[in-house]
Amino acid sequence: MTEQRERYRIYSHVTKSSFLHVEDALEIGKLRLFAGHYKKGAGSDQMTAHWHDVADARVLFNDLAWGKAVDYVEYKGTGKGDQAVSRVLKVKAKGDKVWFRLESGPGQVMGQGAVKPKGDPETVVNVPFSTTDSRKMAYAVLSYLQAAEVVDMLRRPGEPDNAGAPGGRAAPGGHGVDSPDQEVEPQQGDEAEPQPQTVDEEAGEILPAGTVGTVQRDTEAIQTFGDLWTAVGKDFDLNRSQALRELGVTRQEDLADEPAMLYQEIAEIMAGR
């Protein structure tokens, strides 16, 4: 059975119609941004997630903490062929507001596994912040990252790099474990880094980052939630309740994406374990 755990929620921002949660995914060197739209008494109608590299998060949230004019775009994604999923994070300061925009939808694989959007996104979530609220969130996130780094350093005396980090966690900055997402291209002014790789233990071949382990399932066949629960049970040894928990909800009614997209999201999470 795959070990299950709740993601620690570092910060939550909730408005009358939207929310953004910043969650701990430091075991893969990332933060998980989980956002959605909802209607009072009716639940969520749009939800999506984005995995943000800790090294990039330090820069972005530092700029937000100082109230700088932020205009940030980040492209990520996972999968291969026609089953690729694109995820885009946009953060923009405009007047006395800061907007977080998360997009997800069909993707196109480029080069060694990078993914770019293919057409319009299927899910778009915009979450507004006042400048003060965005600074509060930024300081909370930066404080958490600093504390986590200190704890990891203290718990690995005498160990090279991140080998002794508790639970296999990579130190925030994160090169310890392959990530579930892959950037399309570096931000302006950054140098491109070599693409990380994972190994298919059964086939003995090296796969580009973003490939979901050895799972070779045709997600087009996942048409219903019954198909979804059966697939994640066979591929990841998850029951329905565990799969819902990985998706950040407690009820099936709160899921807004199609079953095939939800399977891809679970596959991304499990690939980083």
Higher pLDDT, residue 105 or 200:
105
Instruction: Supply the pLDDT for residue 125.
Output: 94
Instruction: Supply the pLDDT for residue 147.
Output: 95
Instruction: Supply the pLDDT for residue 78.
Output: 81
Higher pLDDT, residue 218 or 54:
54
Let me know if residue 108 belongs to a domain: yes
242 neighbors 30 (Cβ within 8 angstroms): no
* pLDDT for 22 beyond 80: yes
Cα separation, 260 vs 273, whole angstroms:
21
Higher pLDDT, residue 58 or 183:
58
Instruction: Supply the pLDDT for residue 194.
Output: 47
Instruction: Supply the pLDDT for residue 219.
Output: 78
Higher pLDDT, residue 243 or 60:
60
Let me know if residue 263 belongs to a domain: no
Instruction: Supply the pLDDT for residue 80.
Output: 66
Let me know if residue 236 belongs to a domain: no
pLDDT band at residue 110 using 50, 70 and 90 as cut-offs: confident
Instruction: Supply the pLDDT for residue 210.
Output: 39
Mean pLDDT throughout 4-33? 89
Token pair of 150, please? Answer: 């200190």
How far, CA to CA in Å, does 4 sit from each of 104, 187, 189? 25, 34, 39
Q: Comparing C-alpha atoms, which of 32, 88, 103 is closest to residue 269?
A: 32
Let me know if residue 225 belongs to a domain: no
Beta bridge partner(s), residue 239 = none
* pLDDT for 164 beyond 60: no
Enumerate residues 6+ apart whose C-beta is below 8 A from 34: 20, 21, 23, 47, 48, 49, 248
Enumerate residues 6+ apart whose C-beta is below 8 A from 172: 26, 29, 54, 58, 145, 148, 149, 152
Let me know if residue 104 belongs to a domain: yes
Let me know if residue 252 belongs to a domain: no
Residue count of the chain: 273
Dump pLDDT digits (tens) for 134-160: 999 999 999 999 999 999 888 876 655
Let me know if residue 250 belongs to a domain: no
pLDDT band at residue 216 using 50, 70 and 90 as cut-offs: low
Q: What is the DSSP string of 139-200?
A: HHHHHHHHHHHHHHHHT-TT-STTTTSGGGPPPTT--SS--S---SSPPTTPPP-PPPEEEE
Percent of the chain with pLDDT over 70: 74
Domain of residue 89: give its range.
9-196
* pLDDT for 262 beyond 50: yes
Q: What is the DSSP string of 76-121?
A: EEE--GGG-EEEEEEEEEETTEEEEEEEEEEEEEETTTEEEE-SS-
pLDDT band at residue 29 using 50, 70 and 90 as cut-offs: very high
Q: Which of 51-65, 88-102, 192-206 has the weakest average pLDDT?
A: 192-206
* pLDDT for 79 beyond 90: no
* pLDDT for 1 beyond 50: no
Instruction: Supply the pLDDT for residue 108.
Output: 84
What CATH number is given to the structural domain containing 95?
2.30.31.10
Let me know if residue 121 belongs to a domain: yes
What is the number of domains present in the chain? 1
Token pair of 5, please? Answer: 């755990």
* pLDDT for 214 beyond 60: no
131 neighbors 93 (Cβ within 8 angstroms): yes
Average pLDDT over the chain reads: 78
Place of tokens 């060197």: 29
pLDDT band at residue 236 using 50, 70 and 90 as cut-offs: confident
Number of neighbours of residue 120 by Cβ within 10 angstroms: 9
Higher pLDDT, residue 196 or 32:
32
